[in-house]
Amino acid sequence: MTTTTSSSPSISYLRFLGRVVVLAFSGTWRFYAWMTVLTAIALVGLNAWGHQLLNGMRVTDLSDHVSWGLYIANFTFGVGLAAGAVMMVIPAYLYDDHDMHDVVIIGELLAISAIVVCLGFIVVDMGRPDRMWHIIPGIGRFHWPVSMLTWDVLVLNGYLLINLHIAGYLMYQRYLGRPPRKRWYLPFVFLSIFWAISIHTVTAFLYQGLGGRPFWNSALLAPRFLATAFISGPAFVIVLLEVVRWSGKLTFGDGPINTLSRIMRVTVLLNLFMLGSELFTALYTGGAHGSAVRYLFFGSHGKHALVPYIWTAVALNVTSAVLLYLPRSRTSKRWLLAACGCAFLGVYLEKGMGLIVPGFVPSTLHETIEYTPTVTEWKVTAGIWALGLLVLTVAIKVGLAVWTGRVREREDGAARSADGAALGAEEEPLRDQHHGT
Amino acid sequence: MSGPNRRVALKVVGATLGAGAFAYAAQPVAQWGAGLSLEETLRRHYKELTPDELAQILRRLEAETKEKYGVDVRIDDIPAQEGVSFGYALNLSICIGCRKCAEACHQENNHDRRTNNSYIRVIEMEQGSFELERGTVDYDHAVPAPGKFYMPVQCHQCDDAPCVKVCPVEATWKEKDGIVVVDYDWCIGCRYCEAACPYHARRFNWREPEIPADEINPDQAYLSNRIRPQGVVEKCTFCLHRTRRGLLPACLEACPTGARVFGNLLDPSSDIRWVLENKRVYVLKEELGTRPRFFYFFDE
């Protein structure tokens, strides 16, 4: 490969990063409006978290009975979202689906953003985030391999690094105008497939391994986690692909969306089947082991806080399954998007509040203490999702600009004499394209 | 060329407003950060401290207690005794459910007064059933009530403790004498142990404990009843600040019926050994395989 620049690779890489930053902060008014709204929500969350740090976690509705709630529920769902993105990588690399290959970078960027969300929820759930360094291997006291939480630290951060490497390497090579070398990314891609399964399995094992919590202590938990991940992941990606298509930054066929919706047609049914199997075991057998399920679906001791959540979740999951199997959803984007919306929300409710909280109700001594998230908890939660969307927006904006060759090293080299003009030149076609759609 | 100029001006205004909003939003986080002490944040794990470092920390904690609560307290590091392995048994036939044990725990262990916290929960059970679901902790009538029996539950100091297994930072561990302890200054507050414990034995400090100065128990130990910081987990330590000095746990001393038996499992002549060898013993949730050191027993 020949390049016109005479600068060293490290200078070239720094310039690449510099242009990425510039790109992340410039765009149309729509982009600015979107980023402003997200930043505002993120700041509201930051402020609420600060109050939680100062006053203690009493500002949440958590208690010694229900000691994990909205934060851990969102964390669990986020891990599924990160793992679900692998449903683009598998078709692209294992089945050589060329259409998927054109958009697979979006899945990798989604995985990165989802992991940021997960890490955010872990940090805000900690009573003492100032002692975070205690959990760094080699520096703190890392209770590995006994504690499943240490496994989660490894797999989540590992998944983040693997995806940062893959996406970063592929984009940088595009930027340089060089074909990527297989040995620098293919092994990592295959590793990431295995790793995606592992992050959600380990997260399920976190709960599944607790003998004192019969609601979680089921061998079906990890398979259910994966099935739901492969609903929420593809559902989000389909919506995301439609947004990208609408923005006009990338043109692609319907292949990827068809593949993803085919995957969802399998996983929505699989999930409903496994849920039914769990319900049957708990309700038909009877006894105290089923009391969490009875509380979740029907309420007990006159307490019903989770009943609306779980029935909404079931309704949404069933609706999404029906919609996905209607012939209309194969021809009409609107129907497909509705199905994806239902599936995403349904899994969010089922796997979040519907999975974490009933693990604690009734408590281990069979007290029925309820939990309803406070405004502070919702603010922090909204803030973290906004942060995740900020990361995702910037990643996709920058990623697609590089991916489609709108930002290249050669332009950069030519621009060195007049850098202001070069930036404008790189931006104009972007904006034109945008207004054209 | 007013276009680009206007855009630049808008960006400058936007950036200024953004920075202002950030500064405002981050204020509580900054305030929290300013309240942390570097010395405390960077200190090593209890087991890695030299005797000098530990002594220094104990004196610092005493000074901090004085500053915060206005009381002179003594915080010792009391190691496990050689040849001692503690066990605890409770006679379900004579416990009347008066909750004196829970109250004694509350005072002895410097619990937060507002939450009326205690490491012991007393369950009123239905005669003829060991089903926890049919029991209640919220009873509010004269005891013992007809048709009921009472089962106080506290940390079982399990030999295969789920709480110790799950802790990601080894902030909780089992001592040589069988007591499961927490280093309150190492705990990160993830509450995984609280989720793992089958006996509802762990408590989290949802806020800074509040105790009037004249009610504070000044005889404290690092690993047991010193006043806990906000945001960490705590638990029953079989009153190690007493029992490692040859005293009995506060809950036992408070019991009006003599239902509680505490002692050294390695001493063949101890009361606890006699109970385990001669009485019918029940282990709560034995099927979970946690191997508790807390036993229930019955008279004939």
3-state SS record for chain B: CHHHHHHHHHHHHHHHHHHHHHHHHCHHHHHHHHCCCHHHHCCCCHHHCCHHHHHHHHHHHHHHHHHHHCCCCEEECCCCCCCCCEEEEEECCCCCCCCHHHHHHHHHCCCCCCCCCCCCEEEEEECCCCCHHHCECCCCCCCCCCCEEEEEECCCCCCCCHHHHHCCCCCEEECCCCCEEECCCCCCCCCHHHHHCCCCCEEECCCCCCCCHHHCCCEEECCCCCCCCCCCEEECCCCHHHHCCCCCCHHHHHCCCCCEEEEECCCCCCHHHHHHHHCEEECCCHHHCCCCCEEEEECC
Would you call B5 an interface residue with chain A, using a CB distance cutoff of 8 Å?
Answer: no
Which residues in chain B show pLDDT less than 70?
1-3, 300
Q: Are B216 and B119 in contact (CB under 8 A)?
A: no
pLDDT score, position A7: 59
Cross-chain CB nearest to B169 (options A127, A135, A360): A135
CB contact under 8 A, A54 and B197: no
Q: Which of B206, B208, B234 to mutate against chain A (most A CBs within 10 Å)? A: B206
Q: How far apart are CA B275 and CA B287, in angstroms?
A: 22
Q: How far does the CA of residue B200 sit from the closest CA of chain A (Å)?
A: 6
pLDDT score, position A286: 84
**Which residue is closest to B195 within chain A, CA to CA?**
A67
CB contact under 8 A, B192 and A56: no
Q: With a cut of 80, say whether residue A4 has pLDDT above it.
A: no
* Nearest in space to A233 (alpha carbons), one of A382, A106, A123: A106
Q: Which residues in chain A are contacts of B199 at CB distance < 8 A?
A: 212, 364-365
**Which residue is closest to A362 within chain B, CA to CA?**
B133
In degrees and rounded to multiples of 5, residue A161 shows phi and psi of -65, -45
Q: How far apart are CA B275 and CA B122, in angstroms?
A: 21
The distance between the two most distant Cα atoms of chain B, rounded to a whole number of Å, is 100
Q: Taking the mean position of all CA atoms in its chain, how far away is CA B267? A: 27
Q: Which residues in chain B are contacts of A65 at CB distance < 8 A?
A: 200
A288 pLDDT band, cuts 50/70/90, is confident
Q: With a cut of 90, say whether residue A265 has pLDDT above it.
A: yes
In degrees and rounded to multiples of 5, residue B77 shows phi and psi of -105, 115
Looking only at the bridges linking them, the beta strands covering B86-91 and B260-264 are: antiparallel
Whether the upstream peptide bond of residue A145 has omega within 30° of 0, thus cis, is yes
Q: With a cut of 60, say whether residue A416 has pLDDT above it.
A: no
Would you call B116 an interface residue with chain A, using a CB distance cutoff of 8 Å?
Answer: no
CA dihedral A299→A305→A309→A315, nearest 10 degrees, is 40
Long-range contacts, A357-360 (Cβ 8 Å, 24+)? A357/A66, A357/A69, A357/A73, A357/A306, A358/A215, A358/A292, A358/A293, A358/A295, A358/A296, A358/A306, A359/A68, A359/A207, A359/A210, A359/A213, A359/A215, A359/A216, A359/A292, A359/B195, A360/A65, A360/A66, A360/A67, A360/A68, A360/A213, A360/B195
pLDDT score, position A436: 33
Q: What average pLDDT score do residues A228-254 get? A: 95
Would you call B278 an interface residue with chain A, using a CB distance cutoff of 8 Å?
Answer: no
CB contact under 8 A, B28 and A363: no
Instruction: Kindly list the strands in the beta sheet with B294-298, ordered across the sheet, starting from the edge strand earlier in the chain.
Output: B260-264, B86-91, B294-298, B280-282
A412 pLDDT band, cuts 50/70/90, is low
Q: Which residues in chain B are contacts of A207 at CB distance < 8 A?
A: 195
> Would you call A250 helix, strand, or coil by DSSP?
coil
- Quote the tokens at residue B39: 């010395």
CB contact under 8 A, A129 and B24: no
Cross-chain CB nearest to A288 (options B32, B133, B191): B133
DSSP state of A4: S
Cross-chain CB nearest to A366 (options B14, B133, B168): B133
CB contact under 8 A, B190 and A364: no
Q: Are A427 and B4 in contact (CB under 8 A)?
A: no
CB contact under 8 A, B32 and A147: no
pLDDT score, position B7: 81
CB contact under 8 A, A47 and B190: no
% residues pLDDT > 90 (chain A): 83
Whether the upstream peptide bond of residue B144 has omega within 30° of 0, thus cis, is yes
Residues 176-195 of B with CB under 8 A from A: 186-192, 194-195
Q: With a cut of 80, say whether residue A427 has pLDDT above it.
A: no
pLDDT score, position A75: 98
Q: How far apart are CA B150 and CA B256, in angstroms?
A: 14
Q: What average pLDDT score do residues A83-106 get? A: 93
- The β-bridge partners of B297 are B91, B281
Would you call B274 an interface residue with chain A, using a CB distance cutoff of 8 Å?
Answer: no
Q: What average pLDDT score do residues A8-23 get? A: 85
A17: Cβ–Cβ under 8 A, 6 or more apart, which residues? none
Overall fold of domain A13-410: Formate dehydrogenase/DMSO reductase fold (1.20.1630)
Burial classification of residue B140, based on how many CB atoms lie within 10 Å of its CB (0-12 exposed, 13-18 middle, 19 or more buried): exposed
> Would you call A303 helix, strand, or coil by DSSP?
strand
Gyration radius of chain B's alpha carbons: 24
Q: Which domains does chain B have, with CATH numbers?
A: 86-298 (3.30.70.20)
Domain boundaries, chain A: 13-410
Sign, CA torsion A90/A94/A97/A100: positive
Q: How far apart are CA B19 and CA A311, in angstroms?
A: 43
- The β-bridge partners of A300 are A303
Q: What average pLDDT score do residues A45-74 get? A: 98
Beta strands in A27-149 (DSSP E): none
Q: How far does the CA of residue B274 sit from the closest CA of chain A (Å)?
A: 29
CB contact under 8 A, A211 and B170: no
CB contact under 8 A, A141 and B186: yes
**Which residue is closest to A150 within chain B, CA to CA?**
B168
CB contact under 8 A, A291 and B133: yes
Q: What average pLDDT score do residues A2-21 get? A: 74
pLDDT score, position A434: 38
This complex has an ipTM of: 0.95
Whether the upstream peptide bond of residue A362 has omega within 30° of 0, thus cis, is yes
Would you call B198 an interface residue with chain A, using a CB distance cutoff of 8 Å?
Answer: yes
Q: Which residues in chain A are contacts of B150 at CB distance < 8 A?
A: none
Would you call B30 an interface residue with chain A, using a CB distance cutoff of 8 Å?
Answer: yes
> Would you call A300 helix, strand, or coil by DSSP?
strand
Would you call B29 an interface residue with chain A, using a CB distance cutoff of 8 Å?
Answer: yes
pLDDT per residue over A309-346, tens digit each?
999 999 999 999 999 999 999 999 999 999 999 999 99
CB contact under 8 A, B167 and A365: no
